Amino acid sequence: MKKIVSLFLALILLLGLGAFALADNEPEPPEKDRTGAPIEVPDKIESIVTLAPSLAEMVVALGHADQIVAYDTNSAGLEGLDPDAPQFDLVDPDMEQLAALEADLVLVSNMSLYDEVSPFQQLIDLGVCVACVPNSDSIQGIRDDIAFVAALLDENEAGEDLIDGMQSGIDDIAAIAETIPEKDRKSVYFEISAAPYLYSFGSGVYLDEMIGLIGAENILADQEGWLAVEAETVTDADPDVILTNVNYIDDPVDEILSRDGWDGVAAVADGQVYYIDNMASSLPNQNIVTALEQMAQAVYPDYFKP
C-alpha cells in the first residue's frame, strides 16, 4: 500500500513539474514596442484602438476585428471594421476622446503626433497600453511588425501563419523572376505622387525590394529613401515601364500618358503605364503580396499570369 501511495505522489509531482515546464515555455508578451519604448501589456485585451490602416489590417487578419472599438479615418471602409465605431484623425488624434474609450490597447504608427516627444503620455499615465509600430521600410521589418502585433494579442501561431503566407507568395514570384533572361529585364519608375509634385523612392524602401523581386530595376535605385523627383530625372532615365499607385486623381495612368514632354519616354510611347492598388502597395503589412503580384503581371505579363 505504501508503495502505491508513493507512486501516486510521485506521479502528481511529475505532472506538476510538467505543468510548470509547459508554463515556462509559453511565450511572454513583449516588454517593449517597436521603437524600444517600454510597455505593459494587459493580461487580457478586450478593446483595441488602431491608429494606422496597416495596423488595423494586421489586427483583423489575426482574428481580432471584434476587439477594435475605434480606428483612424484613413482606415474607414477596411474589411472587418465596424463602420459605426468612433474614428480619429491619424496625424492629430483627440487625446481626451481616446482616453474616454478606456481601451486596453492603442496601436499607433510614427505618423501620429510625430513632432511631439511623448504624444501619448496622457493615455499611458491612465494605464492604457500604447504600442508604437513605425512604418517599416523593409520586408523583413514588415515580418517583424506582424510578429510583434501577434505577440501583443497572444496570437503567435496566427502571426507565424500570416508571415508564412506572405513569404510563400513572395517566394513564388521570386522563383519565376529568376527565370527571366537578363536581356528581357526591364527598368521601372514607380510614382506615388503625381505631377507637379512627383514623388517616388530609391533603395532602402520595401517597394524597391519588390521591384527587384519581380526581376526589374528601379530607375532611382542609386538614391536612398523616399524622394521628391524632377521630371527630367525620369525622362532621362527612360524607363521601360511606369507604375503608379496615385489614387487622388481620377485617372493617374492617363495623366502620365498625356504628360507634356513625356511622349518620348519608352513606357509612355509603348503604353506601358499601369495602376497598382494603393492600399496594398502603400501599407507595410502582409498585403504587399497583392501589390507584388500586380507589379509582376504589369511588368512581365508573359511570365506572370493573372
CATH number at residue 226: 3.40.50.1980
Residues 113 and 210 in one domain: no
Residues 130 and 69 in one domain: yes
Look at residue 276 and tell me if it is in a domain.
yes
Residues 130 and 191 in one domain: no
pLDDT at 305: 85
- Residue 126 structural domain: 48-135
Residues 103 and 198 in one domain: no
Question: What are the average pLDDT values for consecutive 10-residue runs of the chain, which has 306 residues?
Answer: 42 40 64 94 96 98 98 96 96 94 96 77 93 96 98 97 98 98 97 97 98 98 97 98 97 97 97 98 98 98 92
Residues 106 and 209 in one domain: no
Residues 112 and 193 in one domain: no
- Out of 77, 106, 135, a domain closes at 135
pLDDT at 33: 95
Residues 201 and 258 in one domain: yes
Look at residue 146 and tell me if it is in a domain.
no
Residues 185 and 295 in one domain: yes
How many structural domains does the chain have? 2
Look at residue 259 and tell me if it is in a domain.
yes
- Out of 78, 105, 135, a domain closes at 135
Look at residue 34 and tell me if it is in a domain.
no
For residue 86, say if its preceding peptide bond is cis, omega within 30 degrees of 0: no
Look at residue 289 and tell me if it is in a domain.
yes
Residues 195 and 120 in one domain: no
Entry pTM: 0.89
Look at residue 92 and tell me if it is in a domain.
yes
pLDDT at 27: 77
Look at residue 39 and tell me if it is in a domain.
no
Look at residue 166 and tell me if it is in a domain.
no
Residues 126 and 194 in one domain: no
- Out of 107, 135, 163, a domain closes at 135
